[in-house]
Amino acid sequence: MTVHLEVADGVGTLRLDRPPLNALDIALQDRIRALATEIAGREDIGAVVLAGEGKAFAAGADIKEMTSMDQAAMIARARDLQDAFTAVARLPQPVVAALHGYALGGGLELALAADVRFAAEGTKLGQPEILLGLIPGAGGTQRLPRLVGPSRAKDLIFTGRQLTAEEALAIGLVDRVLPADQLLPEAHAWAAGLAAGPATALRAAKEAVDTGLDAGIDTGLAVERTWFASLFATEDRTEGFRSFVEDGPGKARFRRRG
Taking only the tens place, the pLDDT of each residue in 160-218 is 999 999 999 999 999 999 999 999 999 999 999 999 999 999 999 999 999 999 999 99
Question: Which of the residues 106, 107, 126, 240 is marked catalytic?
Answer: 106
Active site includes 109? yes
**How many CB atoms are closer than 10 A to CB 20?**
11
Question: Which of the residues 23, 61, 120, 187 is marked catalytic?
Answer: 61
Active site includes 224? no
Please state which architecture CATH assigns to domain 3-195.
Answer: Alpha-Beta Complex (3.90)
CA gap 177, 36 in Å, rounded: 26
145-156: pLDDT as tens digits: 999 999 999 999
Question: Which of the residues 46, 52, 98, 129 is marked catalytic?
Answer: 129
Active site includes 61? yes
% of the chain with per-residue pLDDT over 70: 99
Active site includes 106? yes
Tell me the fold of 199-247: Lyase 2-enoyl-coa Hydratase; Chain  A, domain 2 (1.10.12)
The region, left, alpha or beta by phi > 0 then psi within -120 to 50, assigned to residue 3 is: beta
Cα→Cα distances 90→23, 110, 175, Å: 23, 12, 20
pTM, two decimal places = 0.94
The model's confidence at residue 66, banded by pLDDT at 50, 70 and 90, is: confident
- Average pLDDT over every residue of 232-246: 89
More confident residue, 13 or 244: 13
- Nearest to 84, CA basis, from 61, 64, 104, 63: 61
Domain boundaries, the chain: 3-195, 199-247
Question: Which of the residues 109, 119, 140, 220 is marked catalytic?
Answer: 109
